[in-house]
């Protein structure tokens, strides 16, 4: 049995703890760790973990922990990933790896110095069937060459009251930055970002237009206050055909001469299967040492961070920003 520690007992920590205990055969939930040890204990009890703790670095170093899932706040992701590399333990780290591309480079350097990959990033959309099919339609020639990818990312409401337009770019949009790069198999050359005005205090949607190094155009709407439901859409337009994601729903309610298809409240429902595929891929990674083909690595975390950094400047300065990455190290090829 592989003994897993889950760090962070919030929304995502709880989801991961449930997946470990119920849907990762061969794995067991060893420790739940949270700054608030009471919260950790509650989650440990709910999911039958052996122990609860409050010091993440000590948990990572424990001899009875074989692998780690990091689901604590964004700013802890890179330092805790580094601690896992130091301890020689594989880590499934929630996205983003860091909001600073410099910090992502540090994680990459540590992995390279250790001579193997330790960090699988939680960009779970790569395991979602709709994106898998889009990537396949591009690869097998069905679409011809890719020209444009449209993306909508709508949340019911912002996760925190102090959420800003810049945070829409650094916390929400990295999903699109990563998945579009993955589906198109390209990199970004530039980003522009705009916001319409709202008349109330809520964060307005952010509209981004990106150019890829292969000359494709990508647009991304992130609307963290869409009110009606969690709604993610994407359409990849090629020279010969176009492929769009369907709304994912198991049922439709026919009533009062109308049809009603519901939305999920948040990403945990919409990406239910993707999270489970991702976590089982992580388990295989820990067992075999082979990094999962389609998963995001620290390099992909760096790629998402660098475009988010440029996006934040584009939004505040109101002009297009170039995106320039370092040469991809052979290690991540």
Which of 172, 192, 216, 321 touches ligand ISE by CB under 6 A?
A: 172
* Smallest separation (angstroms) from ligand ISE to the CB of 284: 23
* Smallest separation (angstroms) from ligand ISE to the CB of 271: 7
Q: Is 223 in the site for ligand ISE (CB under 6 A)?
A: no
For 31-39, the CB contacts below 8 A with 24+ separation are 31/5, 31/6, 31/59, 31/62, 31/64, 31/65, 32/5, 32/6, 33/5, 33/6, 33/7, 33/8, 33/9, 33/59, 34/7, 34/8, 34/9, 34/10, 34/72, 35/72, 36/9, 39/9
* Smallest separation (angstroms) from ligand ISE to the CB of 331: 27
Residue with the CB atom nearest ligand ISE in the bound state:
172
Which of 30, 98, 120, 171 touches ligand ISE by CB under 6 A?
A: 171
Tokens found for residue 325: 């990455």
Tokens found for residue 142: 């069905």
Q: How many CB atoms sit inside 10 A of residue 47's CB?
A: 18
Phi, psi of 329 (to 5 degrees): -65, 145
* Smallest separation (angstroms) from ligand ISE to the CB of 172: 3
Q: Which stretch binds ligand ISE (CB under 6 A): 130-138, 170-178, 180-188, 195-203?
A: 170-178
Q: Which stretch binds ligand ISE (CB under 6 A): 169-177, 198-206, 234-242, 273-281?
A: 169-177
Q: Is 118 in the site for ligand ISE (CB under 6 A)?
A: no
Q: Is 76 in the site for ligand ISE (CB under 6 A)?
A: no
Helix (H, G, I), strand (E, B) or coil at 212: strand
Contact in structure between 276 and 23 (CB atoms under 8 Å): yes
Q: Which is nearer to ligand ISE, 155 or 278 (CB)?
A: 155
Could you tell me which of 113, 54, 61 has the C-alpha nearest to residue 84?
A: 61
Q: Which stretch binds ligand ISE (CB under 6 A): 38-46, 168-176, 207-215, 307-315?
A: 168-176
Q: Which is nearer to ligand ISE, 98 or 172 (CB)?
A: 172
Contact in structure between 262 and 229 (CB atoms under 8 Å): yes
* Smallest separation (angstroms) from ligand ISE to the CB of 324: 26
DSSP letters for 25-94: TTEEEEEEE-SSHHHHHHHHHHHT-SEEES-HHHHHH-TT--EEEE-S-GGGHHHHHHHHHHHT-EEEEE
Could you tell me which of 126, 88, 60 has the C-alpha nearest to residue 303?
A: 126
Q: Is 155 in the site for ligand ISE (CB under 6 A)?
A: yes
Q: Is 159 in the site for ligand ISE (CB under 6 A)?
A: yes
Contact in structure between 189 and 213 (CB atoms under 8 Å): yes
Q: What is the contact mask toward ligand ISE in residues 175 to 194, using x (rule: CB under 6 A)? A: x-------------------
Q: What is the contact mask toward ligand ISE in residues 228 to 257, using x (rule: CB under 6 A)? A: ------------------------------
* Smallest separation (angstroms) from ligand ISE to the CB of 239: 31
Q: Which stretch binds ligand ISE (CB under 6 A): 82-90, 113-121, 171-179, 317-325?
A: 171-179
Q: Is 89 in the site for ligand ISE (CB under 6 A)?
A: no
Q: Is 267 in the site for ligand ISE (CB under 6 A)?
A: yes
Q: Which is nearer to ligand ISE, 172 or 216 (CB)?
A: 172
Helix or strand holding residue 238 (H, E) = strand 231-238
Could you tell me which of 228, 234, 263 has the C-alpha nearest to residue 130?
A: 234
- How many residues sit in the footprint of ligand ISE (CB under 6 A)? 6
Helix or strand holding residue 138 (H, E) = helix 129-139
Interface positions with ligand ISE (CB under 6 A): 155, 159, 171-172, 175, 267
């Amino acid at each position: 049995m592989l003994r897993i520690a889950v760090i962070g007992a919030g929304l995502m920590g709880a989801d991961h703890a449930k997946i470990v205990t119920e849907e990762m055969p061969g794995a067991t939930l060893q420790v739940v760790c949270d700054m608030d040890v009471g919260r950790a204990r509650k989650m440990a009890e709910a999911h039958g973990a052996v122990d609860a703790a409050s010091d993440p670095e000590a948990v990572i170093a424990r001899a009875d922990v074989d692998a780690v899932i990091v689901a604590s706040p964004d700013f802890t992701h890179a330092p805790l990933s580094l601690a896992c590399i130091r301890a020689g333990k594989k880590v499934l780290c929630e996205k983003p790896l860091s909001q600073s591309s410099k910090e992502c480079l540090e994680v990459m350097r540590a992995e390279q110095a250790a001579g193997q990959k330790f960090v699988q990033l939680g960009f779970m959309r790569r395991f979602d069937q709709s994106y898998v099919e889009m990537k396949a339609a591009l690869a097998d020639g069905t679409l011809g060459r890719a020209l444009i990818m449209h993306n909508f990312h709508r949340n019911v409401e912002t996760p925190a009251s102090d959420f800003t337009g810049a945070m829409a770019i650094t916390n929400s949009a990295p999903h699109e930055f990563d998945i579009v790069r993955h589906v198109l198999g390209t990199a970004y050359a530039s980003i522009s970002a705009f916001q319409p005005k709202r008349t109330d205090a809520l964060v307005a949607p952010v509209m981004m237009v990106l150019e890829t190094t292969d000359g494709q155009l990508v647009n991304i709407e992130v609307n963290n206050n869409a009110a009606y439901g969690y709604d993610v859409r994407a359409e990849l337009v090629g020279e010969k055909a176009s492929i769009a994601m369907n709304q994912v729903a198991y049922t439709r309610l026919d009533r009062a001469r109308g049809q009603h298809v519901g939305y999920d409240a948040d990403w945990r429902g919409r990406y239910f299967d993707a999270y489970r595929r991702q976590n089982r891929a992580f388990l295989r990674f820990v067992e075999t040492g082979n990094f999962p083909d389609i998963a995001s690595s620290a390099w992909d975390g760096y790629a998402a961070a660098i475009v988010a950094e440029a996006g934040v400047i584009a939004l505040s300065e109101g002009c297009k920003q170039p995106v320039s990455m370092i040469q991809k190290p052979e290690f991540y090829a």
